[in-house]
Structure 1
Amino acid sequence: MSPSQLNTESLISEWLEHPSGRAILIDVLARRGPDVRALYAIQTLPLSSVITLSRGTVTAEQLDLLVEAANQRISDTPPNPELAHLFPSAPPPSPTDWTEKVIPGRFSGKRFIVTGAGSGIGRATALRLAREDAAVVAVELNTLRMEALLENPAAHSITGVVADISREADIQRIIAAAGSRIDGLTVIAGVADDMTPLHEVDDDLWERIFRLNVTAPFRLTRKVLPIMLSRGAGSIVNLTSQAGLRGSVAGAAYTAAKHAVIGLTRSAAYSYSPRGVRVNAVAPMPTRAILDSNYGFPGGLGPSPAASLIPADLEAASVAAPIAYLLSDDAVAVTGTVLPADEGWGLG
């Protein structure tokens, strides 16, 4: 389609392929909410559908201005002053433009424990650490997922342990596999709830969510810390969630549990920072990787950003990247922080 033919009934995919339309469209919608990835999920719809989808936040008059701005920019005519703000200096990148930047040798000689390593963010983290020359003890509850992880060509330095970190005997096996040196621990395994509000949460649901998201990480960390303290060095990264920062993305049990993870993170950081052990947390937005590992709960993490075209592996890798940073010596001065890895989604 020629630039002059863009209109409100042009498909969003046509706007995203247009040399000026894409930049203008994303720029304007980003002013109304940071998750412009939603455009890639509705790209088969006409631009006019944004009016309904935004519940009136975006008006027909505003879309008409977008059309005028996109076509006027191509024509090189001086823009209407009302349209000046619609001319960004450069179009933002597509969500699929990001490439994982592996740093060979960054973790040479170091050993890490990664839980939840059979899928999603845990798998991406274990493979990222292995590609950067760490020895990784990968912990996964599901045998088939563990086998798939170990078949990956990058898993040459990964030792797999099929274990349930809520069981004391399994924790002992994990520690035995790691040996006398543990440089880092990242606790990613967990379970989501079914969006149940507080007055409907029964004791079994509450206890299961807390057992797997709080008590199990607490017990594993309790075993790892003495080993780190004996060397006066170590880094622990917990995976919390946007549910640990707000009350609107999960049920009462999971929200309370992820708030508790942040409390454990900050308390441990305060206690052990003077002794050389850093403790931080990463808070991703709801991702397909997390929803895929919710251990059977149908609701997952509840309302999530609109699905995007980002491949699941790439999505998980983008969260594994800040986890790897916090585990690395580059984060030597960082402890007690909760780092959102959510593309600004939590700002809305």
Structure 2
Amino acid sequence: MLITGASSGIGEAAARVFAQEGAIVVLTARRADRLAALVGELRDKGAEASCVVGDVSVADDMAKVVDFAVTEYGRLDSAFNNAGIGGDRSPLHLMSDDVYDTIMDINVRGVFNCMRHEIAAMLPHGGGSIVNNSSVGGLVSIPTAAPYIASKHAVVGLTRAAADEYAKQGIRVNAIAPGTTRSEITADWFGRNPGLEELVNSATPQGRTAHPDEIAAAAAWLLSDRCPFLTGTVLPVDGGYVNQ
């Protein structure tokens, strides 16, 4: 099991959830210290875990990560392409090129880089399962976040295209679309914007933000053999937000 963006938030939660369910996990992110600490924690609990520092926007890094997984464990059966960023919020006509480029490089090129190397590793072994982390922003619009919305819609497109292309070769590709989820990023976001947390919660039928474990559990189900006839889907995990 390969998990990108594993040093914090949903990726960190996924590492714990997947390991608890018995998966061998290979973690990657840009922060070596956080990865090493998480691997140590998982090993102390009896899990088999390793890490490789990598940037999803760099194709060679993802090739290195996938090669490590295959070399170390013989094959790659599943991957959770979780790494992504939100970026600055601004009206579209004021958005800078740098913000757009950074969001697209990580959120779209990053998923593309991961999938092409993961799929290449899975094909010789008869298939596998991939889950990409999109967002409710991949299904609906959110003001002042045009590049982010575009990037997460693109993740949905990549997911559906790959699911169709590789279904007959035994590779399932799905996506999750989380609503607002508790993390270091959202804590900082709420802290800098008084009243924003209450506003976000009021817009969600369940009236709260998600815990990272809840998102990780949904990804674990999609990646598992409990849903072998499911591919090309985008699963909202959002407390009912997009159902309104």
The TM tier, using the shorter chain, reads 0.7 to 0.9
How many correspondences in the alignment?
A: 232
- TM-aligned CA deviation for residue 194 of structure 1: 1.9
- Are 2:58 and 2:113, in contact at CA under 8 Å, matched by a contact in 1? no
Alignment partner of 1:128 is 2:12: no
Match of 1:285 among 172, 179, 204: 179
CA distance in 1, matches of 2:79, 2:105: 19
- The whole-number CA distance in structure 2 between the counterparts of 1:159 and 1:258 is 28
Deviation at 1:345, TM superposition (A): 2.2
Secondary structure at 1:238 match in 2: strand
The alignment partner of 1:283 has SS state of strand
**Structure with larger RCO (C-alpha < 8 A, sep 6+):** 2
Q: Call closer, same or farther: CA 1:199–1:174 in 2, change over 3 Å.
A: same
Q: CA deviation at 1:231?
A: 1.6
Distance in structure 2 (CA, Å) of the matches to 1:275 and 1:212: 28
Q: CA deviation at 1:172?
A: 2.6
Shift of 1:289: 2.2
Describe the superposition over 1:154-207 as per-residue Cα deviations: whole angstroms up to 9, x where unpaired: 473110112111123322320222014110111111110222221111211111
- Tell me if the contact between 2:172 and 2:232 (Cα under 8 Å) persists in the aligned partners: yes
**Deviation string, structure 1 residues 60-118 (Cα, Å, up to 9, x no partner):** xxxxxxxxxxxxxxxxxxxxxxxxxxxxxxxxxxxxxxxxxxxxxxxxxxxx1000111
Structure 1 match to 2:113: 219
Q: Give 1:272's match in structure 2, choosing from 163, 166, 181.
A: 166
**Equivalent residue number for residue 319 of structure 1:** 215
- Residue 250 of structure 1 deviates from its aligned partner by 5.8
Letter in 1 for 2:226: D
Judged with a 3 Å threshold, the aligned counterparts in structure 2 of structure 1 residues 344 and 158 are, in CA distance, closer, same or farther, namely same
What is the CA deviation profile of residues 291-336 of structure 1, one whole-angstrom value per residue up to 9, with x for unaligned ones? 3599xxx78x9973369998x9x81111111100011001101001
Output one character per residue of 1:32-62: Cα deviation in whole Å (capped at 9) or x when no partner.
xxxxxxxxxxxxxxxxxxxxxxxxxxxxxxx
* Consecutive aligned runs of 4 or more in structure 1 exceeding 6 Å deviation: 307-310
Does 2:5 correspond to 1:113?
no
> For 2:46 and 2:99, how far apart are their aligned partners in 1?
35
Which stretch shows the higher mean deviation, 243-252 or 277-286?
243-252
CA distance in 1, matches of 2:106, 2:226: 30
Q: 2:123 — aligned with what?
A: 229
Unaligned runs of 5+ residues in structure 1 are: 1-111
Match of 2:90 among 174, 190, 196: 196
| In 2: Cα distance, 1:290 partner to 1:334 partner | 32
1:155/1:236 Cα in 2 relative to 1: closer, same or farther (>3 Å)? farther
Partner of 1:305: 201
- Over 3 Å counting, the alpha-carbon distance change for 1:202 and 1:151 in structure 2 is same
Residue 131 of structure 2 contacts residue 219 of structure 2 at CA under 8 Å; is this kept in 1?
yes
Structure 1 225/293 Cα, relative in aligned 2: closer, same or farther at 3 Å? farther
Larger radius of gyration: 1
The residue type equivalent to 2:119 in the other structure is L
Secondary structure in 2 aligned to 1:222? helix
Match of 2:56 among 156, 160, 165: 165
Contact 2:163 2:174 in 1 (8 A): yes
**1:150 paired residue number:** 39
Once the two structures are superposed, what CA deviation does each residue of 1:12-51 show, in whole Å capped at 9, x if it has no partner? xxxxxxxxxxxxxxxxxxxxxxxxxxxxxxxxxxxxxxxx
